[in-house]
Structures are given as structure tokens and as C-alpha cells.
């Protein structure tokens, strides 16, 4: 029985991540292939000001997807959500 629960939850998680990716592509008009350039750790907790900003918590691991003009990068968190994060809030070590 536990095996079926694990499969169901992983299927739900991949479905949610697919929805997040679709939302990201539509909102950011992103048509490139999604590749992880680097990983970074959030140095401090930052709530999102806009829907396109990714809220982060201190110590959270993020995948850097793309570099933008200015001081923000596009990141993805462990839940599959995408958004802008300011470089000054990230540690790339």
C-alpha cells in the first residue's frame, strides 16, 4: 500500500511542476530550453513583491535558470516554482 501512495504523490508533484513550468513560460514569455546554469543558496528570507518574484527563505537551495538584464536572475525552487531573485540575496559558493 505504501508503494502506491509514493507513486501517487510523485505523479502529483510532477503534474504540479508541469503546471508551474507552463505558467512560467507564459508569464515570462520564455521559449528557450530550461537548463540549470548554476545553483545558489538564499542568504536571507525575501517575500515576493510581485507574482514574477520568487519568494525565498534563508538557506534554500535554488537552481539558476537564466541571467537577466540588471541585478536579477531567474531561479527555480525545490517546489518547481520560478521567478526573479536579486543576485544580492544569493550565495553562489
Going along the chain from its start, the domains and CATH numbers come out as 33-92 (2.30.30.40)
Q: Are 73 and 62 in contact (CB under 8 A)?
A: no
**Whole-Å CA distances, 54 to 2, 10, 71, 83:** 33, 23, 14, 4
What is the per-residue pLDDT for 39?
A: 95
d(CA 72, CA 89): 10
What percent of the chain shows pLDDT beyond 70? Answer: 88
How many secondary structure helices (H) and strands (E) does the chain include?
1, 5
Least confident piece of the model among 10-24, 43-57, 75-89: 10-24
Span 20-63, pLDDT tens digits: 899 999 999 999 999 999 999 999 999 988 889 999 999 999 99
**N-to-C CA span, the chain:** 42
- Mean pLDDT to the nearest integer, 78-82: 92
Mean pLDDT of the chain: 87
For 13-51, letters b (16+ CB in 10 Å) and e give eeeeeeebbeebeeebeeeeeeeeeeebebeeebeeeee
What is the per-residue pLDDT for 4?
A: 55
What is the per-residue pLDDT for 48?
A: 87
Amino acid at each position: 500500500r505504501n508503494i502506491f501512495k509514493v507513486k501517487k504523490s510523485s505523479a502529483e508533484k510532477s503534474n504540479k511542476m508541469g503546471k508551474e513550468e507552463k505558467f512560467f513560460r507564459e508569464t515570462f514569455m520564455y521559449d528557450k530550453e530550461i537548463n540549470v546554469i548554476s545553483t545558489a543558496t538564499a542568504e536571507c528570507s525575501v517575500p515576493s513583491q510581485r507574482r514574477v518574484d520568487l519568494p525565498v527563505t534563508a538557506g534554500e537551495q535554488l537552481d539558476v535558470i537564466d541571467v537577466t538584464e540588471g541585478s536579477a536572475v531567474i531561479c527555480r525552487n525545490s517546489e518547481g516554482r520560478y521567478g526573479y531573485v536579486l543576485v544580492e540575496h544569493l550565495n553562489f559558493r
